[in-house]
């Protein structure tokens, strides 16, 4: 029955998803160029709220648990496991008061209404995952931004998403670059569960009734021992991973 519903509801979901991106593309451009970055951030939060709402067509839900009282007067580095592109809208929405900025692959920086423009102009950085010489300076740039503005940087230290939900080992270079360039930042481990289930059967049909959840761990202070800090973050993320 769920497979049949998937075939029926996936086109409606995709239509809703695309409509949100197309409608908000000019809105965010106007907000940034006329009203400035604060207005643009509010529009981006709204975009991601409606992207999450679109997933309700599929009977999906997103819940957040754990620490809901992170300080807004400190920069944050959010280190999460990565399961799907559907990881991202809830992070934008749940952490909206921290103005999250992402480390993303360069391919996302063009061709996608709303999303590509926000990546290029909203403070996130694009990296070539095959070229560390390009990637690390860009990540340092993001670290400097969050340090100065008390924003949140979001990074997926696995380097790529897990299509099965199984977590890959953290790669230290990018996360260490953020810790170096934002020394006042708290490191916040974030566990993401079950977003991979949306595409277990591929892009069509999408799964029905996915129950995605996010667990925000207590923040870790950066005392300069990057190896130990990254290991502690990875252990925390794994500790709340669900099958």
C-alpha 197/C-alpha 102 separation (Å) is 23
| Per-residue model confidence (pLDDT) at position 135 | 87
Q: pLDDT tens string for the chain (243 positions)?
A: 888 999 999 999 999 999 999 999 999 999 999 999 999 999 999 999 999 999 999 999 999 999 989 999 999 999 999 999 999 999 999 999 999 999 998 998 999 999 999 999 999 999 887 787 888 999 999 999 999 999 999 999 998 888 888 899 999 999 999 999 999 999 999 999 999 999 999 999 999 999 999 999 999 999 999 999 999 999 999 999 998
Domain limits for position 147: 2-239
C-alpha 69/C-alpha 48 separation (Å) is 21
| Per-residue model confidence (pLDDT) at position 1 | 82
| Per-residue model confidence (pLDDT) at position 43 | 97
* pLDDT digits 0-9 by tens, 100-152: 999 998 998 999 999 999 999 999 999 887 787 888 999 999 999 999 999 99
| Per-residue model confidence (pLDDT) at position 132 | 75
C-alpha 104/C-alpha 120 separation (Å) is 10
Contact in structure between 145 and 123 (CB atoms under 8 Å): yes
Tokens (6 digits) for 63? 């819940």
| Per-residue model confidence (pLDDT) at position 160 | 82
Paired with 64 in beta bridges are 214
* pLDDT digits 0-9 by tens, 148-168: 999 999 999 998 888 888 899
C-alpha 31/C-alpha 153 separation (Å) is 22
Q: Which residue has the tokens 């300076």?
A: 137
| Per-residue model confidence (pLDDT) at position 239 | 97
Chain mean position to CA 223: 25
Cα–Cα distances in Å, from 198 out to 60, 62, 150?
9, 12, 33
Q: Which residue has the tokens 């309700």?
A: 56
C-alpha 114/C-alpha 46 separation (Å) is 12
Count of H-run helices and E-run strands, the chain: 7, 7
C-alpha 62/C-alpha 201 separation (Å) is 20
**Sheet of 61-66, strands arranged across:** 61-66, 211-216, 186-193, 76-80, 152-155, 100-105, 125-127
| Per-residue model confidence (pLDDT) at position 161 | 83
| Per-residue model confidence (pLDDT) at position 170 | 95
CATH number at residue 228: 3.40.1130
Alpha helix positions (H), 98-131? 115-121
Cα–Cα distances in Å, from 235 out to 56, 158, 201?
32, 13, 29
Q: DSSP class of residue 168?
A: P
Please state the domain count of the chain: 1
């Amino acid at each position: 029955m769920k497979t049949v519903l998937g075939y029926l509801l996936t086109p409606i979901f995709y239509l809703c998803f695309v409509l949100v991106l197309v409608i908000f593309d000019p809105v965010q451009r106007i907000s940034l160029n006329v009203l400035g970055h604060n207005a643009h951030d509010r529009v981006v939060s709204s975009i991601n709220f409606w992207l999450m709402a679109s997933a309700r067509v599929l009977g999906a839900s997103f819940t957040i648990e754990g620490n809901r009282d992170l300080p807004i007067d400190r920069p944050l580095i959010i280190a999460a496991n990565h399961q799907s592109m559907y990881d991202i809208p809830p992070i934008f929405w749940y952490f909206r008061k921290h103005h999250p900025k992402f480390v993303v692959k360069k391919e996302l920086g063009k061709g996608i209404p709303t999303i590509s423009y926000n990546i290029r102009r909203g403070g996130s950085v694009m990296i070539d995952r095959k070229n560390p010489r390009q990637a690390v300076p860009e990540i340092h740039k993001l670290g400097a931004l969050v340090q100065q503005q008390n924003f949140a940087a979001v990074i997926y230290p696995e380097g790529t998403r897990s299509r099965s939900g199984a977590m890959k080992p953290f790669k230290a270079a990018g996360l260490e670059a953020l810790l170096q360039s934002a020394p006042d930042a708290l490191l916040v481990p974030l566990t993401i569960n079950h977003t991979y289930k949306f595409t277990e059967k591929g892009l069509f049909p999408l799964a029905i009734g996915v129950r995605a959840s996010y667990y925000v761990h207590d923040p870790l202070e950066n005392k300069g021992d990057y190896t130990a800090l990254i290991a502690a973050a990875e252990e925390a993320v794994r500790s709340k991973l669900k099958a």
